[in-house]
A and B are shown apart, each in its own frame.
Chain A
């Protein structure tokens, strides 16, 4: 590793550790540890949400996908962006008003029971871990490719850092690491986009011409249909993308870190601006890669195209820019995995330890200690998993996370908030059926069952890579059937009205001190 790389990485590690040290002094209550006492402003939280959401898969994967498949790569971005409107309209404000630290709080404010809380916690825990492992595995490969560091060392460094941020700095450190990441990522991408334009004399038509010359697709590069041949697959993916975000626990718990619903909306508005601008820039980078490097230059080192942005940086700015972009990718990964660690930690230490095992009776100190030890445990377990999974392709876990979130958490949240007849049993059956269906469908799908290189060398039972279009309706159907077969447990009209008014306005009825 040469000195430029080393300095960039040390700089990032030192900066984030300073943030953690500063945050550690402020993380001495559970309120601060889990939600930074709701002290962030809407704009800061918007930056943090963007930092939580834009994974290395977005930064590196989408640039590569655009460079290889043209138009279709860009469609991913659109789905991710529009999904924020679903969060804003349907769940953001009620989640903020009903919950304290976790999604379990939100559902239990209507259906208070340990079983319900346990199920929500297991869901949040699973989604976070399933999402974290592929990120860690990808980070190992990425650092190996970029910096020639051993896979296990890369995973250990990133796993160690994410654990340190959360254990010592809790949500305060996590939020600020994510904010810094967004600023670095946005400025780096902007810089790279400018350099691309300067390389084509600020002439867009010329850039397009060079793209056509650089890709084997030629004119067709700009025409849809290179990534998604099966229309059902395409629709299914778009559905899971647009509904998935509203069920992702690590994004939703960020809505607790601001003080009121006005700031919640500001957070989401700011994040849509940032994410929207970011995806436009990834388009420029994708085009730039094909135009300046050509297709063969892109897939020479890595046929997945994930190295598009770093290779582009090297081509236009030499080693220095490559080091900078690698540092951005590194920050991107640590910020996302830290967000996932805190989400899994909250699910375990707050929902399971505090509420279920200790029946809500543990002291502040006990809770904090439990939270920190949980974070250590989660850090170690997921790092170990990532180390073991080096040789196995786990990228399917990323799309599975969106499907699981869209078909379990999303239906249960929406129906809990808006459906008067919804019952406790319906919430349980909805959660279980959505989760089981999505996992089963992925296991029976071509990600796992593949005659060429699957875990199970057989023809897939379900031909969809993204089974959202089947799993999401199953989640809703499970919730509906559970409800109509348990209508005797229906809440009284009065109780639902109280709950609904609170979810929509924050006004609590007298005597209702939940």
Chain B
């Protein structure tokens, strides 16, 4: 039992580390790009009338929702698996 629990925890930890890494990267690219590449960020983006700076900062909002939702679903499965192991014991 303990081995399976540990394996599941390892998987969840990996998932958490990767998601957190992606979030930090996605988030800190915003201030860093504004500091280092202001010209690029002030050019019009793929959407007419919207610069990259605005588009990228808007994208942080759906990013938060989507990444959170993915994590929530994975964690739900994890909780169920743990529950099964716990009950089966």
Contacts and interface: CB of A to CB of B under 8 A. Distances in A.
Contacts of B23: 82, 85-86, 89
A103 interface: no
Interface of B: 2, 5-6, 8-9, 12-13, 16, 19-20, 23, 27-28, 30-32, 34-35, 38, 41-42, 49, 51, 53-54, 57, 60-61, 63-65, 67-69, 71-72, 75-76, 79, 82, 86
Interface in A203-225: 205, 208, 222-225
B76 A262 contact: yes
Interface in A47-80: 71, 74-75, 78
Interface residues of A, number: 41
A372 interface: no
B71 A505 contact: no
Closest 3 CB pairs of A and B: A231-B35, A276-B61, A505-B82
27 contacts: A71-B53, A71-B57, A75-B57, A78-B27, A81-B60, A85-B20, A85-B23, A86-B20, A88-B72, A225-B38, A231-B35, A234-B34, A235-B35, A238-B28, A242-B27, A261-B75, A268-B68, A269-B65, A272-B68, A276-B64, A276-B65, A280-B61, A501-B5, A501-B9, A504-B13, A505-B9, A507-B5
A84 B64 contact: yes
A12 B36 CA distance: 48
A265 interface: yes
A279 interface: yes
Contacts of B5: 501, 505, 507
A420 to B, nearest CB: 12
Interface of A: 71, 74-75, 78, 81-82, 84-86, 88-90, 93, 205, 208, 222-225, 231, 234-235, 238, 242, 261-262, 265-266, 268-269, 272-273, 276, 279-280, 500-501, 504-507
Contacts of A71: 53-54, 57
B51 A222 contact: yes
Main secondary structure of the interface of A (DSSP, over half): helix
A265 B31 contact: no
B65 A224 contact: no
Contacts of A268: 68
A234 B31 contact: yes
A290 B57 CA distance: 21
Given A224-B41, A235-B35, A507 B27 contact: no
Which of B28, B31, B54, B72 has the most chain A CB within a 10 Å cutoff?
Answer: B31
A273 B68 CA distance: 10
A506 B5 CA distance: 11
A93 B6 CA distance: 17
Given A71-B53, A88-B71, A234-B31, A82 B9 contact: no
Contacts of A78: 27, 30, 57, 60-61
A42 to B, nearest CB: 10
A261 B16 contact: no
A507 B82 contact: yes
Contacts of B27: 78, 82, 238, 242
B71 A205 contact: no
A418 B79 CA distance: 19
B75 A93 contact: yes
Contact of B68 (A84, A208, A234): A84
Contacts of B38: 224-225
Nearest to A280: B61
Which of A71, A88, A208, A238 has the most chain B CB within a 10 Å cutoff?
Answer: A88
B60 A82 contact: yes
Nearest to B56: A78
Contacts of A223: 42, 51, 53
A234 B72 contact: no
Nearest to B32: A235
Nearest to B81: A505
Nearest to A276: B61
A68 to B, nearest CB: 18
A81 B61 CA distance: 8
Given A82-B60, A269-B68, A507-B5, 17 more contacts: A75-B31, A75-B57, A81-B64, A85-B19, A85-B20, A88-B71, A93-B75, A234-B31, A261-B75, A269-B72, A276-B64, A501-B2, A505-B8, A505-B86, A506-B82, A507-B82, A507-B86
Contacts of A235: 31-32, 35
